[in-house]
Amino acid sequence: MHWTHCAAICATLLCPTPLLASSVFRCEDANGHITFTRHGCGDSQQQQIQNTHNPRPGSGAAVPLATPQATQKSKETAATGNSLTIVGGQQDGCENAVTGSARREAIIRKQVRAGMTRSDVESALGKPERISRRNGQTTYHYASKPKGERRTVNFDQNDCVMGKR
């Protein structure tokens, strides 16, 4: 009797206990906003118990993921065998003369390249000491404080770097 009593206790301890499910409430207010909670809904909300099923991992077959539906354009591309061609891109106003890594590298090295925008130059060199305008062109004037060197950057009418001196 003693062994059977110990066996029964061991069997009870080794059996997994079922997880208790908690109730989830679906609360909808007068404006149609929906909230899910375990604590119940407010007085001004409609309350419904939401059916939930959250299987334990590995307790059954894998749950399939959503499969995206093909758009009309991708169906046409697949049918004709043509590849996607980008006709336009973001324009910086300077015909994208300096793009991507070249722009980043120039800014980091405090360099000015033809085709950079005014904001690119300000990112690289900071705000100019002085700005002058003449015949539709803007010139940024920089002075190096420790060395006393002067630097100018000329922009065209589209605010793109045309040259530097």
How do residues 75-127 score in pLDDT, each as one tens digit?
Answer: 555 555 556 555 555 566 677 777 778 888 988 998 888 888 888 899 999 99
Residue spans per domain, the chain:
23-52, 110-164
User: Who contacts 113 (Cβ-Cβ below 8 Å, separation ≥6)?
Assistant: 97, 98, 102, 106, 161
Helices (H), 100-140: 100-108, 118-125
**What is the CB-side half-sphere exposure of residue 102 using CA atoms within 13 A?**
9
Which contiguous run of DSSP H or E holds residue 24?
strand 24-28
At the top level of CATH, which class does the domain 110-164 belong to? alpha beta
* Of the candidates 56, 52, 63, the residue with the CA atom closest to the CA atom of residue 19: 56
* pLDDT mean over 63-76: 64
User: pTM here?
Assistant: 0.43
Q: 4-56 pLDDT, tens per residue?
A: 666 666 566 565 555 555 678 888 988 888 888 877 788 888 888 877 666 66
User: Who contacts 33 (Cβ-Cβ below 8 Å, separation ≥6)?
Assistant: none
